Amino acid sequence: MAPPGDPRRLCRLVQEGRLRALQEELQAAGGCPEMAGDTLLHCAARHGRRDILAYLTEAWGMDMEAANRDYKRPLHEAASMGHQDCVRYLLGRGAVVDCLKKADWTPLMMACTRKNLEVIQDLVEHGASVLLKNKDGWNSFHIASREAMHGHLEAVKVLLKRCQYDPDCKDNCGVTPFMDAIQCGHIDVARLLLEKHKVCLSAEDRLGAQALHRAAVTGQDEAIRFLVSELGVEVDVRATSTHLTALHYAAKEGHTSTIQTLLSLGADISSKDERNRSALHLACAGQHVACAEFLLQSGLKDSEDLTGSLAQQLIGGAAPATTR
């Protein structure tokens, strides 16, 4: 049997929410042992054990600002997991609201990856900055706009109400929140950003790509229709540094359905980039059989024998075994 104060047993008691057993263990051990990495407060915050969080803080004076190996504080853990009662307790006890973990993520940034709107509201009401940026140049707007698993329309609404931010603020790759929303297919978020802040539709990332190009890369057909049909974005607009169109990007990534969408919207199937490559060139280079077949069937007539030869080899099965 593990001796009193064994860290692994204490962590298990916290996870299971067994406050009485934890009290007995700590009293027998004479206090909280030194623990490498996560403290018992981290564990309590992560698992939503508000009563244990209060006990450890008030009875044993544990440090709410103790950082683990990733420099996470208990507030990071509670915000990340959406435990509002723990967040409120820590903030009420004076926890630093904009504490930074590795890569400069704040608790608010972590909360924006979840669907717990109340936690986001609590953090903002306690003064959390919505404009701080992490090491990738993302602020809370970028994160709330881009989360592919979430699409936080309500979170974006809360953040918009709480501050005046640059509508076209960019991360380290030059991506704006509007571009994030579009490339993740969150049209409702994109529409909100347009209505509230009149974002620039032609903003470019560091490679000169616009929102339309990024939607083509990620295969977001509905977002492409939204941009072209509703907002009037030119379907053949080129990225300034590469001269690639959305059709080129879609072919490069092997998105056959996106190619179909772009062609239905009037994209020029024969357009070339600065290296004189068509969409068929890029589909062949990426060994995307279905895309190459579709482009040929759609009437693409390339003047270069090399392209036609590559396409025929690819479709005929002469491509390497890594074809995808």
Instruction: Give me the pLDDT at residue 31, please.
Output: 85
Mean pLDDT (whole number) for 113-129: 89
Residue 49 placed within a domain: yes
Residue 228 placed within a domain: yes
Instruction: Give me the pLDDT at residue 135, please.
Output: 93
Higher pLDDT, 310 or 110: 110
Q: Inform me whether the pLDDT recorded for 304 exceeds 60.
A: no
Residue 40 sits in which domain range? 1-96
Residue 187 placed within a domain: no
Instruction: Give me the pLDDT at residue 36, please.
Output: 81
Instruction: Give me the pLDDT at residue 271, please.
Output: 92
Instruction: Give me the pLDDT at residue 303, please.
Output: 42
Specify the CATH number for the domain of residue 314: 1.25.40.20
Instruction: Give me the pLDDT at residue 319, please.
Output: 45
Q: Is the pTM of this model over 0.85?
A: no
Last residue within a domain, chosen from 74, 96, 118: 96
Instruction: Give me the pLDDT at residue 321, please.
Output: 39
Last residue within a domain, chosen from 40, 63, 96: 96
**Residue 165's closest CA among 126, 134, 133, 207?**
133
What is d(CA 226, CA 224) in angstroms, rounded to the nearest whole number? Answer: 5
What is d(CA 103, CA 107) in angstroms, rounded to the nearest whole number? Answer: 12
Residue 36 placed within a domain: yes
Residue 142 placed within a domain: no
Q: What angle do CA 195, 201, 160 make, to 5 degrees?
A: 35
Total tally of structural domains belonging to the chain:
2
The per-residue pLDDT of the chain, averaged, comes to 87
3-class secondary structure, 93: coil
- Per residue in 38-77, pLDDT (tens digit) is 999 999 999 999 999 999 999 999 999 999 999 999 999 9
Q: What angle do CA 68, 70, 76 make, to 5 degrees?
A: 75
Residue 141 placed within a domain: no
Higher pLDDT, 143 or 308: 143
- Per residue in 146-199, pLDDT (tens digit) is 764 344 667 777 777 766 667 788 888 999 989 988 998 989 889 988 887 778
Instruction: Give me the pLDDT at residue 195, please.
Output: 84
Higher pLDDT, 138 or 300: 138
Last residue within a domain, chosen from 79, 96, 113: 96
Q: Are 262 and 250 in contact (CB under 8 A)?
A: yes
The secondary structure of 268-282 as a DSSP string is -TT---TTS--HHHH
Share of the chain above pLDDT 70, in %: 87
Instruction: Give me the pLDDT at residue 96, please.
Output: 96
Q: Are 45 and 78 in contact (CB under 8 A)?
A: yes
Q: Which two tokens stand for residue 121?
A: 């509201």
Q: What angle do CA 97, 142, 253 make, to 5 degrees?
A: 145
Residue 158 placed within a domain: no
Instruction: Give me the pLDDT at residue 323, please.
Output: 37
Residue 114 placed within a domain: no
